[in-house]
């Protein structure tokens, strides 16, 4: 899963990004509204965290622009503005959730996971595919009832496939949702990750659809 974090407070942005990466998210940071608007419109993200008081372009303008362009990316507003009128303005502009500073990073993580899960069409927190279970709220996987140990990249790939189970995920889309903006990606790195996952969950569960991408199936 990939997050766009639009926050001009450098220390806070790095703290949040560090915490999200520790939970296996890929994170891109934009320090102003102009860069944030551009990244949100041109890159593929699972969710965005958007401050309101941004330099160059304010957060509400960024969000309104995304929605006017038809972008359905889930957006959580993260701001020190706690007035009711600010909240109303944020939701009217198209926000999906609102979190007031100061906040607990653990709560932010849980809210982001919920936004991604609901955007993928899952009401329940636990998603299953054969013997594989993904607790989308806790971010944990089980295989045959036992915890599944995954690297960050394996987790990102498997979480995307799990939330889109029985559906072909295009190779390009999967790559975009796994790697950060400035990552140096080898041409066969995705295949390597998928290969490792097959060894961990069973080769038959991840189907290669030639010329398109991958599909997670219960078999």
Q: Which residues are 6's β-sheet partners?
A: 30, 50
**pLDDT for res 85:** 83
CATH architecture of 126-216: Orthogonal Bundle (1.10)
User: b/e per residue, 92-124, with b = 16+ CB within 10 A?
Assistant: ebbbbbbbeeeeeeeebbebbbbbbbeebebee
Residue 30 to residue 65: CA distance in whole angstroms: 16
- Report pLDDT digits (tens) over 207-218: 999 989 999 998
Average pLDDT of the residues of the chain: 93
56: left (phi over 0), alpha (psi -120 to 50) or beta: left
pLDDT band, very low/low/confident/very high, at 187 (cuts 50, 70, 90): confident
**Domain residues of the chain, as ranges?**
2-119, 126-216
Tell me the pTM: 0.91
Cβ neighbours around 196 below 10 Å, total = 15
Residue 51 to residue 13: CA distance in whole angstroms: 10
CATH class belonging to 2-119: alpha beta
- Report pLDDT digits (tens) over 109-149: 999 999 999 999 999 999 999 999 999 999 999 999 999 99
- Report pLDDT digits (tens) over 47-78: 999 999 999 999 999 999 999 999 999 999 98
Q: Which residues are 216's β-sheet partners?
A: 206
Q: Across residues 25-44, what is the average pLDDT?
A: 97
Q: Across residues 2-7, what is the average pLDDT?
A: 97
């Amino acid at each position: 899963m990939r997050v766009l974090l639009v926050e001009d407070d450098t220390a806070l942005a790095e703290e949040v990004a560090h915490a999200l990466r520790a939970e296996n998210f890929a994170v891109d940071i934009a320090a102003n509204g102009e860069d944030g608007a551009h990244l949100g419109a041109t890159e593929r993200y699972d969710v965005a965290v958007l401050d309101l008081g941004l330099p160059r372009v304010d957060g509400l303008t960024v969000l309104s622009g995304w929605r006017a362009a038809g972008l359905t990316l889930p957006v959580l507003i993260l701001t020190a503005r706690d007035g009711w009128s600010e909240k109303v303005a944020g939701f009217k502009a198209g926000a999906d959730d609102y979190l007031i500073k100061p906040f607990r990073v653990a709560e932010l993580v849980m809210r982001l996971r919920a936004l991604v899960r609901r955007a993928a069409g899952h009401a329940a927190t636990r998603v299953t595919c054969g013997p594989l279970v993904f607790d989308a709220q806790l971010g944990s996987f089980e295989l045959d009832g036992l915890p599944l140990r995954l690297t960050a990249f394996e987790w990102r790939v498997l979480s995307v496939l799990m939330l889109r189970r029985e559906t072909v995920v295009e190779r390009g889309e999967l790559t975009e949702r796994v790697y950060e903006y400035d990552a140096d990606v080898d041409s066969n790195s995705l295949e390597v990750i998928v290969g490792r996952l097959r060894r961990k969950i069973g080769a038959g569960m991840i189907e290669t659809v030639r010329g398109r991408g991958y599909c997670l199936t219960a078999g």
